Structure 1
């Protein structure tokens, strides 16, 4: 094991955090009002007495952004974890389906599926991860007889007080970052580098977001409001629910 140099982490963040922010902006640019609106529940908007086009537009955009950013940043943190593990334990990006990271430690091959937080999936998704782990273990043991393989579900934040899940370990937050780096304090030390140019990047995103609010509000008024500005709820329900 090599001790982690936090300057290396800071440089990685500075060189790569822009990718995350650019993907946020690109995701907004690709949105189409009708596509997003089709995925929303019009009955809920009506039950909440939503009365303006901008309220609906902000609601659907904020819901999309929240879900999308969690995914995008989870993917970015996965790359950071692999980078850090490569520096400390010589780990590498796995080519096995459902496995993100592989590395050797104390005579054991660790196969790691990295997720953003602890509540990342339902029972069927967790079942698929277990299947992926078993397939990977079988593949590795076949190619390298006698290899001890341990499966780990690593979560970049959060807690799980019972990490031993029987056929795999679930390591969250501090436990995960210490696991990939050997540094018990890394989970705290990461906070500062991640703020690199955060204000500038967020200002750029907010400008794109504001333009999208205006654009979608105008489109919504044209397509789903009458000449007096009243929302045509029937038309929205037909968009989301009518048979093709």
Structure 2
């Protein structure tokens, strides 16, 4: 085990946090209004009494962006966790399906599936993770029958007061960062570096966001508003949920 240097963590974050911010902007540029409209509930917009094109655009795009950012930042935090573990325990990015990180500690091979937060999946998804853990254990023991393998679901934030899940452990927040680094306060130490140039990067994102809102509002008004500015809810619902044999839907 090596002692973690926070200067290494800070340097890694400063060199790599820009990737997350750039992917946020790239995600906006790739976004297509009608693709998003097809995935959102038009009845909910009506039930919430949304009256303007811009209101609808902001609601549906903000929901999409929030979900997308959770995924992007979760992936970024996974990279940070693997980097930190490499520095301390010489861990490595696993090549086994469903496993993100492998490392050895106290004669135990740990296999880790990294998630952003604790409430990440339904019963089927958790069942898939358990299956991946079991497959990974069999794979590793084939090459080394005496190998002790322990599976861990690591979550970058949150908490779980009952980490022993029987066939695997679930470490969240402080417990996870301490587990991969040996540092009890790492979960707090990484906060400041992650904010590196956040204001500058976010201003760039907001500039792209404003352009997208204006572009989508204009597109929505052209396609789903009457000449007097009123939203044509029938046309919007038809686009979202109508039979694809409908000729008007084909034009849209």
Please give the TM-score of this superposition, normalised by the length of structure 2: 0.96
TM-fit CA distance, 1:239: 1.3
Matched, 1:72 2:72: yes
Task: Measure the CA separation in 2 of the matches of 1:27 and 1:190.
Answer: 25
Partner of 1:19: 19
Q: Which runs of 5+ in 2 are unaligned?
A: 245-252
Q: How does 1:1-244 map to 2 (within 5 A)?
A: 1-244=1-244
Q: How far, CA to CA, are the matches of 1:193 and 1:48 in structure 2?
A: 40
Report Cα offsets for 1:24-45 as digits up to 9, x if no partner.
Answer: 0000000000000110101111
Give me the CA root mean square deviation.
0.5
1:183-216 CA distances to partner (integer Å, 9 max, x unpaired)? 0000000001001000000000000000000000
1:24-73 CA-to-partner distances (Å, cap 9, x unmatched) read 00000000000001101011110111000000000011101110000000
Stretches (4+) displaced over 3 A: none
**Unaligned ranges ≥5, structure 1:** none
SS at match of 1:183: coil
* Aligned residue-pair number: 244
Q: CA deviation at 1:236?
A: 1.0
Query: Secondary structure, in 3 states, of the residue corresponding to 1:71?
Result: helix
Give the superposition deviation at 1:145.
Answer: 1.5
* Structure-1-length-normalised TM-score: 0.99
* SS of equivalent to 1:192: helix
Distance 2:145 2:136 in 1: 14
Tell me how far apart the structure 1 counterparts of residues 88 and 178 of structure 2 sit (CA, whole Å): 11
What is the DSSP-based 3-state SS (H/G/I as helix, E as strand, rest coil) of the residue aligned with 1:167? coil
Pairwise CA distance, 1:144:
1.3
Partner Cα separation in structure 1 for residue 240 and residue 104 of structure 2:
50
- State the shift of 1:243 in Å: 2.1
